């Protein structure tokens, strides 16, 4: 009888442990889940946005040929030469680039709604603080010009990144205050930006 009770107790303990571990994994998976419902109009907006980004990357990778090759064991001088050359090449290849070229109205609207859903609620206060505590005073928002090297970079919340349209490796999202930027990862050039993106 005693042994039976012990066996029942062990089964209960193991079950709780398994459920806890599964719950933790489920929590992480839920946190990284994409948005549940995307309307046909939003799907189109996302597709247009992704195409604009893809076009930028194709152009950028083409003009990257003009920059000196950068090895994985580079000196600071080589890094600077590469960054400067890439920045200039990208700027020259997009002489008429302006705000809204990539964040077109429909995509901007979808992203703003996604941000609103992600940042609203008292439990999201910390998320807002994580983004808004970044010291970005002095960052000039100008398409086709680099983000100030001396300025801090905002941490992009993992849960938010999972819900936004996915980007190729050459491009990154970044916040400056409540503004959302699209930035070239290597040259740090601002490709486009959305003012007042955060609620």
Contacts with other proteins by CB under 8 A lie at 21, 24-25, 27-28, 31-32, 70-80, 82-83, 126-127, 130, 133-134, 149-150, 152-159, 161-162, 166, 169, 172, 185-186, 188
Residue 64 Cβ, how far from other proteins at the closest point, in Å?
Answer: 13
Toward other proteins, which CB reaches closer, 65 or 73? 73
Q: How far apart are CA 169 and CA 155, in angstroms?
A: 17
Task: Report CA 135 to chain centroid distance, whole Å.
Answer: 18
Contacts of residue 157, Cβ cutoff 8 Å, sequence gap at least 6: 118, 127, 130, 131
Residue 5 Cβ, how far from other proteins at the closest point, in Å?
Answer: 27
* Contact status, residue 49 vs residue 173, Cβ threshold 8 Å: no
Toward other proteins, which CB reaches closer, 89 or 134? 134
Toward other proteins, which CB reaches closer, 155 or 196? 155
Q: What is the DSSP letter of 99?
A: T
Strand partners, 184: 171
Residue 80 Cβ, how far from other proteins at the closest point, in Å?
Answer: 6
Residue whose C-alpha is closest to residue 136's, from 197, 87, 181: 181
Q: How far apart are CA 11 and CA 45, in angstroms?
A: 51
Toward other proteins, which CB reaches closer, 97 or 131? 131
Toward other proteins, which CB reaches closer, 70 or 198? 70
Residue 173 Cβ, how far from other proteins at the closest point, in Å?
Answer: 8
């Amino acid at each position: 009888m005693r042994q039976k009770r012990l066996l029942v107790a062990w089964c209960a303990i193991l079950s709780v442990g398994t459920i806890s571990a599964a719950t933790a994994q489920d929590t992480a998976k839920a946190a990284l889940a994409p948005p549940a419902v995307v309307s046909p109009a939003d799907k189109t907006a996302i597709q247009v946005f992704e195409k604009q980004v893809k076009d930028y990357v194709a152009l950028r990778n083409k003009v990257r040929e003009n920059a000196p090759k950068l090895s994985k064991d580079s000196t600071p001088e080589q890094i600077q030469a590469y960054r400067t050359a890439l920045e200039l090449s990208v700027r020259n290849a997009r002489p008429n680039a302006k705000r809204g070229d990539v964040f077109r109205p429909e995509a901007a609207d979808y992203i703003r709604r996604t941000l609103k859903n992600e940042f609203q609620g008292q439990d999201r206060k910390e998320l807002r603080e994580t983004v808004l505590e970044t010291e970005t005073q002095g960052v000039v928002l100008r398409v086709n010009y680099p983000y100030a090297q001396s300025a801090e970079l905002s941490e992009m919340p993992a849960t938010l990144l999972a819900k936004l349209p996915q980007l190729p490796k050459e491009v990154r999202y970044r916040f400056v205050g409540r503004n959302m930027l699209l930035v070239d990862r290597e040259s740090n050039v601002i490709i486009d930006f959305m003012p007042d993106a955060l609620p």
